[in-house]
Amino acid sequence: MKAILVYLLQVIICSGILYSYYQFFLRNKRFHQYNRFYLLLITLISLIIPFLNIPVYFNSRQDIPAVYQILSAVRVGDTEKFNSLSQFFTGKTVAQLFYWLITAFIFIRFSIALLKLRRILRKYKAEKMNNISFVNTNEDGTPYSFLHWLFWNKEIPLGSTNGQKIFRHELFHIQQKHSWDIIYLELLTIICWINPFFHLVKKEIKTIHEFLADQFAAGHEDKWSYAELLVMQVLQTRQRVVNPFFHNQIKRRITMITNSSKPSYQYLRKAMVLPVAVVVITLIAVNCTSKDIDKAPESKTINTTKESKQADKELIEYSRKKAAELIIADNNKVIEEVEVETEAAFRGGQIEWTKYLHKNLNPSVPVDNGAPEGSYTVYVQFIVDIDGTVSDIKALTNYGYGMEKEAIRVIQQGPTWTPAIQNGHSVKSYRKQPFTFVLQAE
């Protein structure tokens, strides 16, 4: 759940930066086709960039620039507060339920709009005209187009001058497949409704569609007469997924039709998108990491990928090298630097210990808490008493991201161990248990 929230936040940041550039430097400029594809790319880039990971290594954490330390804190967040809140609401179910309820509500609205179009198609007969289906109706808000259907209004003579301009306008929408843009953005805003910038992109795309269709319909004729047509016949459509001729952005459409001057520095405005995209990638995808995390020795390895946190059976691999350091005692007192005949071990041996970890260890803890990719060896020290009970559990490392807490929890909640043996008697001994969390690139 935490990883999803971080991903959504990164998507919002990406789309916010890219849309802000559009708002200040590209909006209402006369390169409409460029703006159309730029807005569509905003959504795709914003969805993809958070999945990228570009590691940049520094000798120590102190060398990492302050801005990346702040961004790392944002990615990780206040783990303890989040965990407490999750426990209070019995995990992530409440947040997920709320999110999907809103998603379902918006999806139902979208479905109703499609059902209205289907009802009209059943009510009126469609006539095939070249590559379009012409539907002559009396419905409010017509004319408009959707996919290959052109919904016409019988009150507008098709053979008149104005009728031909409107027809050319809607025909352009169909030819340029503008409906697919709208369908894509409707579905995107249903799933990512929490992102306000996707809603703004959807609104702007619809307006740019009108700019392009107006430009085609007006042609080289008197542009003022076309503008007059828009003003004299302004109507509103209640359809959400269509391209209506009488769009509500009349003022902007008239400005685009009548203004023939080219925007200043148009090539520079387009080219500056590239450094803006580089800034976004640098802020979101670059992961500054200290080399300190690579200095710990290998032991038991937990391979955690950010692609899948559910593949627990593939997440645990164990080295066969001895990883326990034992310090045994006589008379129930722990004495250091003494050899033992038999080391303290998990009851059932290595196989049972592996099964226990598969069942109880949560290897996605560092991923959920936003840990950078790399290798983290966590050491947990504890005492195995003569009766096998475990006590005095403490972490010897402090990498954070919940790894030490998870390792301590697994040891603490586990069963009793088989104590160490010296001279035929059970003895009290220390044990250091290392776990290496390896976060791999996707």
The predicted structure's pLDDT at residue 140: 81
- The region that residue 285 occupies, defined by phi over 0 for left and psi between -120 and 50 for alpha, beta otherwise, is alpha
pLDDT bucket at 66, cuts 50 / 70 / 90? low
- Among 170-179, 212-221, 312-321, 423-432, whose mean pLDDT is lowest? 312-321
Same domain, 63 and 93: yes
Q: Which domain holds residue 267?
A: 2-105+156-283
Q: Of 232, 254, 283, which marks where a domain is finished?
A: 283
Same domain, 209 and 70: yes
In a domain, 263, yes or no: yes
Of 387, 393, 426, nearest to 411 by C-alpha is: 393
Same domain, 249 and 320: no
Pairing state of beta strands 417-418 and 345-346? antiparallel
The predicted structure's pLDDT at residue 108: 95
pTM: 0.58
In angstroms, the first-to-last Cα distance of the chain is 19
Q: Of 231, 249, 283, which marks where a domain is finished?
A: 283
Same domain, 169 and 276: yes
Same domain, 270 and 329: no
pLDDT bucket at 239, cuts 50 / 70 / 90? low
The predicted structure's pLDDT at residue 119: 92
Cα 209 from Cα 177, distance rounded (Å): 10
- Per-range mean pLDDT, top range of 195-199, 272-276, 295-299, 341-345: 195-199
Same domain, 164 and 243: yes
- Among 144-158, 303-317, 406-420, whose mean pLDDT is lowest? 303-317
In a domain, 141, yes or no: no
- Per-range mean pLDDT, top range of 98-107, 233-242, 251-260, 325-334: 98-107
pLDDT at 197 exceeding the cut of 70 = yes
Cα 208 from Cα 159, distance rounded (Å): 27
pLDDT at 433 exceeding the cut of 50 = yes
Cβ 301 vs Cβ 71: under 8 Å: no
In the chain, the amino acid numbered 369 is: N
Cβ 136 vs Cβ 124: under 8 Å: yes
Same domain, 251 and 381: no
Same domain, 368 and 239: no
Q: What are phi and psi of 263, to 5 degrees?
A: -65, 145
Cα 203 from Cα 201, distance rounded (Å): 5
Average pLDDT, rounded, for the chain: 76
Give per-residue pLDDT as tens, 171-192.
989 999 999 999 999 999 999 9
Give per-residue pLDDT as tens, 392-409.
898 988 888 888 998 899
Same domain, 310 and 239: no
320 vs 190, higher pLDDT: 190
pLDDT at 366 exceeding the cut of 80 = yes
Query: Residues of the chain with pLDDT > 90: what percent?
Result: 20
Stretch (H or E) spanning 121: helix 93-123
Give per-residue pLDDT as tens, 16-39.
999 999 999 888 888 889 999 999
The predicted structure's pLDDT at residue 76: 47
Residue 64: both structure tokens together: 């990492």
Q: Of 283, 306, 322, which marks where a domain is finished?
A: 283
Of 438, 432, 402, 433, nearest to 294 by C-alpha is: 438
- Per-range mean pLDDT, top range of 23-32, 34-43, 217-226, 229-238: 34-43
In a domain, 149, yes or no: no
In a domain, 146, yes or no: no
pLDDT at 42 exceeding the cut of 90 = yes
Query: Residues of the chain with pLDDT > 70: what percent?
Result: 69
The predicted structure's pLDDT at residue 21: 92
In a domain, 198, yes or no: yes
- Among 108-112, 183-187, 241-245, whose mean pLDDT is lowest? 241-245
Q: What are phi and psi of 107, to 5 degrees?
A: -65, -40
Same domain, 308 and 233: no
Residue with tokens 């783990």: 79
Same domain, 163 and 56: yes
Same domain, 255 and 315: no
The predicted structure's pLDDT at residue 332: 46
102 vs 352, higher pLDDT: 102
pLDDT bucket at 235, cuts 50 / 70 / 90? very low
pLDDT bucket at 233, cuts 50 / 70 / 90? low
Number of structural domains the chain divides into: 2
pLDDT at 58 exceeding the cut of 80 = no
pLDDT at 68 exceeding the cut of 70 = no
The predicted structure's pLDDT at residue 102: 93
Cβ 176 vs Cβ 215: under 8 Å: no
In a domain, 113, yes or no: no
- Among 27-41, 358-372, 379-393, whose mean pLDDT is lowest? 358-372
> What is the CB neighbour count within 10 angstroms for residue 5?
15
Tell me the sheet residues that pair with 379: 434
Helix residue spans in 261-386 (DSSP H): 266-271, 273-284, 349-360, 365-368
pLDDT bucket at 109, cuts 50 / 70 / 90? very high
- Among 9-13, 61-65, 109-113, 143-147, whose mean pLDDT is lowest? 61-65
